[in-house]
Every structure is written in C-alpha cells, then in structure tokens.
Amino acid sequence: MKKVIVIFCVLSLLIFIRPALGLGTNTNSNNINSSKTTEQVDTIEESNSYSGAFEGLQQFYNYTGFANVTSGHAIMILIGIIFIFLGIKYDYEPLLLIPIGTGVILGNIPFVAGNQTGIYETGSVLNYLYFGVVKGIYPPLIFLGIGAMTDFSSLIANPKLMLLGAAAQIGVFATFLGALYLGFSLPEAGAIGIIGGADGPTAIFLSSKLANGINILADGTTVKNLIGPIAIAAYSYMALVPVIQPPLMRLLISKKDRKIKMKPPRAVTQKEKMIFPIVALILTLFISPSALPLLGMLFFGNLLKESGRTERLADTARTKLIDIVTILLGVTVGASTQADIFITKDSMLIFGLGAISFIIATCGGLMFAKLMNLFLKGDNKINPLIGAAGVSAVPDSARVVHHEGLKSDPSNYLLMHAMAPNVSGVIGSAIAAGIILSFLG
C-alpha cells in the first residue's frame, strides 16, 4: 500500500513539475531570441518580455466575461437564476423553468462576437440547436408527445364542452388587436396574440413563422425577432396560471354557481376513442390547413395511444421523445434571450400584453360557460368554473379549476370535467394559430 502511495506521489510530482520544466525551456528560448535582438540595449530586454506578458494577459482579460459584461447581461443572468429558483423552490413548472433558466444564463454569458459562440452566430452549436426553434421543428414534436399523453374521453363524453375551448380563444384575438393598437405590425401582432392561447409550443411555432426576424413586411422592413420574448412570456404565464386564474374565477362566478355539481361523464368505448383522433384530424385540418404540423402531430400521437397496437411508439413519444425535445427547446429558448436582443421596449410590451391576453382568455371561457348555462337545464348544467380551463395550459388550468371547485364544495370533483375544455383549448389555440398563419404568413 505504501508503495502505491509513493508511486502516486512521485507521478503527481512529475506531472506538476513538467510544466515548470517546460516553462523553463521556454524562458531559455526566449532568452536566446531576446539576446539576438537586444544586443545593443540590454535594459529594454526585460521590459519587452514583461510588456508582452502583460499584453497577453490583457488580451485574455478582454476575452473574458468580466470585461464584456453589461448591465443587461447581469439583469438577464439574475432573471435566469430567479427562474431556476422558482422552479426548484416553488415547483412552478420545473421541467420548463429550469431548462429555460439555465438557457437564459447560457445566452447571457458575455463574449466577444465572432468566435461562433453565441446563439445568433451562424455555425455555433447553440445556433444549430436553435434551428429547431426558428424553423418550428420542436413544437410539433412536443405536440406528438402531448397527443400520446392526452385522454380525450371526457371530451368525447361531453362534446358541448368543446365550445369552452373555442371561447377562450377570444384572448388570442383580443391581444392581437391590442398589439396592433400599440403599433406592432400585423405578423408581429399575430405572434403576440397567440400568448393568449396559453400554449408554449403553439406560441413558439407561430412566432417562428411570423416574427422570426427574417420575413420581410409589405413596406420593405424586416419583422422583429420576437421568438424569445413571446416564448418566455407564454411559458412564464403558463407557470403563473395558479396565481392569475383563481381571483378571476372568484370575481366572475357567484358562490352558488361554483357549487354546481356536474353529472359524471359517461363511459366512452375504445372504438370512439380510436375514431376521435382520425375524425378530428380530418375535420380540423380541412378547416384550418395551416395548423397541420401542430394538429397533425397531436392527433397522430393520440392515435398511437388509442389504437392499442402501437403502445411502444406512444410510450416513446410521451416519455423519451418529449423529454429530449423539451430539454432542447427550453435551453435554446432561454439562450435566445440574449440581453442586447431581449431587453427592449417591445419585450416589456409583450409581457404586458401577455398578461392581459391571459386574463381575457380566462374571462372569455368563464363568461361563455355562464352563457351556456342559460340554455342548459336540470343536471345538464355545467359548473362555470371549468370555462377557465379553456385556456390550454394543460393540465395546470384544469388542476386550478379543480382546486377552486374543492374550495367552495369539498365534495365537488371537477378535474375530469375540466380536462374536456382544457384539451379542446389545445385544439382551439392550434386552430387559431393556423388561421392567423394563413392570414398573415
């Protein structure tokens, strides 16, 4: 044992000494060189080598983050840390916030441009990964996974709840109009509006098509690159659903209405579940073909799940595949918030509009549920709270509705009922994205 330790010590000593020896030889050669050049004036020799070393150090310093840091970088890194903190400490969508937070830090490490480091420099690794965001590749893959996870049976059992998913899309179009009034161009406004759909992948998909910084507008100017702010706004408001929605619910829905118990949904046969994705795929895409990448993948994933023959594929889609894509999407979207591009007046406006669109979407769903109740009789009446689940944010908003229902009546279980408008909200926002894309794309 002692021998081993001795050998290890000797080896490690050798390893540590070697650079010293190497340094020695270097200095020797330097001396030789300098002796050649400084035959005339001996005193300059020393100062030359010192200044050389100093210049090297200074150049190194110029490349470090410390030299290039700006207040923007510092703010964004702080935001990244806050995201990570929120994800870990309060469990606010940690699967999204932790990758995005890390991405925000990654994207805001100050660097000297031109070394293929940054996400916006062609050829850099992050730029290649970002390609999936810019070209809208990741969102459909995520939708595939969501389709393979989602159970549409509550929607099939009670098809009228689909209307709630449509009603919540009022938020999308109202925000679109608001953004127009604030001076955004049409495609930018369309991309901002979709934040109200409360659907991260859809928002990224639409903004990558409309506000990608590449398209050229009718008046000759290029659209702004708003993918980063829109994605961050969409995801952060999705994480904030438990904070935003309950006050609105209490404000709009009376205590008596909150206690309405809905009759349990009927059992849905496997045959119906299999038919649903195929029929919904054909019907929705015939109406809004531009939503094809999103809805096509969503219903394809659902068919994989319900067909009963492709459990392996469905399993991969809803676990490994969606995890991989979420990692890539989170990090690159986070990294796309490079301070010089992200901290602008537009981003602040987008955050404001996003909050408003969320509120309008929630109110739209709630009010429409109340309206539907006017026409429904007896035990067919729906609990208006589930209207709030019409903003997609699957499954968070359904969970919030459930909790809010439990608060007013501890024996009222709304989760299954709320899932119906929730999933139809996903379909609705994808259709809305398709419509906006076909108008403005």
Partner 1 sequence: MTDQISEGYVILMTGLLIVFSALVTLMLFFKYGLPLMLYTYKIITKGKEKKISEIKVVADRDFTGEMSAAIGAAVHMYLREQHDHESAILTIKQVKKPYSPWSSKIYGTQNRL
Q: Which of 174, 360, 391, 414 binds partner 1 (CB under 8 A)?
A: 174
Site for partner 1 in 388-427 (CB under 8 A): 424, 427
The whole-angstrom separation of Cα 137 and Cα 152 is 25
- Within 224-263, the residues that bind partner 1 by CB under 8 A are none
Query: Segment 28-67, which members bind partner 1 (CB under 8 A)?
Result: none
200 interacts with partner 1 by CB under 8 A: no
**Contact flag: residue 104 with partner 1 (CB under 8 A):** no
For 171, residues 6+ apart whose C-beta sits below 8 A from its C-beta are 196, 197, 198, 357, 358, 359, 360, 361, 362, 364, 391
Torsion, Cα of 199, 204, 206, 212 (10° steps): 160
Using the minimum distance from each CB to partner 1, give the nearer residue, 126 or 174.
Answer: 174
Nearest approach, Cβ of 271 to partner 1 (angstroms)? 7
- Asked whether position 428 contacts partner 1 by CB under 8 A, the answer is yes
Structure tokens at 245: 């929605």
Cα 400 to Cα 52, 198, 199, 232, 404, distances in angstroms: 64, 14, 16, 21, 6
Q: Which of 138, 176, 300, 342 binds partner 1 (CB under 8 A)?
A: 176
- Considering the rule CB under 8 A, would residue 181 count as an interface residue with partner 1? yes
**How many whole angstroms separate alpha carbon 104 and alpha carbon 388?**
31
Q: Within positions 259 to 288, which residues make up the interface with partner 1, using CB under 8 A?
A: 269, 271-272, 275-276, 279-280, 283-284, 287-288
Residue closer to partner 1 by CB (options 288, 347) is 288
Query: Which segment (63-71, 119-127, 181-189, 317-325) binds partner 1 by CB under 8 A?
Result: 181-189
Among 156, 210, 234, 297, binds partner 1 (CB under 8 A): 156
**Closest distance of CB 169 from partner 1, Å:** 5
Size of the site for partner 1 (CB under 8 A): 42
> Which residues in the 307-346 window bind partner 1 by CB under 8 A?
none
Cα(285)–Cα(183) distance, integer angstroms: 32
Distance between CA atoms of residues 296 and 274, nearest Å: 15
Mark the segment that binds partner 1 (CB under 8 A) among 91-99, 232-240, 397-405, 432-440: 432-440
Cα dist from 391 to 92, 169, 199, 343, whole Å = 18, 7, 8, 28
Asked if 353 interacts with partner 1 (CB under 8 A), we say: no
- CA dist 145 and 329 (Å) reads 14
Assess 198 for contact with partner 1 (CB under 8 A).
no
Instruction: Give, in order, the Cα–Cα distances in Å from 216 to each of 251, 350, 354.
Output: 44, 21, 24
Among 9, 11, 12, 160, binds partner 1 (CB under 8 A): 160
Least distance between partner 1 and beta carbon 309 (Å): 19
Residue 377 near partner 1 by CB under 8 A:
no
Q: How far is the CB of 211 from partner 1 (least distance, A)?
A: 15
What minimum distance in Å lies between the beta carbon of 52 and partner 1?
Answer: 58
Query: 223 vs 328, which CB is nearer to partner 1?
Result: 223
Do residues 245 and 400 touch, judged by C-beta distance below 8 A? Answer: yes
> Can residue 186 be called a binding residue for partner 1 (CB under 8 A)?
yes
* Placement of tokens 């904030």 in the chain: 240
Assess 170 for contact with partner 1 (CB under 8 A). yes
Candidates 148, 165, 201, 241; CA nearest to 420 is: 165
Helix (H, G, I), strand (E, B) or coil at 86: helix
> Residue 106 and residue 111: Cα distance in Å, rounded?
11
Nearer to partner 1, 79 or 170 (CB): 170
Residue among 383, 376, 365, 398 at smallest CA distance from 164: 365
What is the rounded CA–CA span in Å between residue 120 and residue 330?
Answer: 16
Min separation Cβ 190 and partner 1, Å: 8
| Interacting residues toward partner 1 by CB under 8 A | 155-156, 159-160, 162-163, 165-166, 169-170, 172-174, 176-177, 180-181, 183, 185-186, 189-190, 269, 271-272, 275-276, 279-280, 283-284, 287-288, 424, 427-428, 431-432, 435-436, 439-440
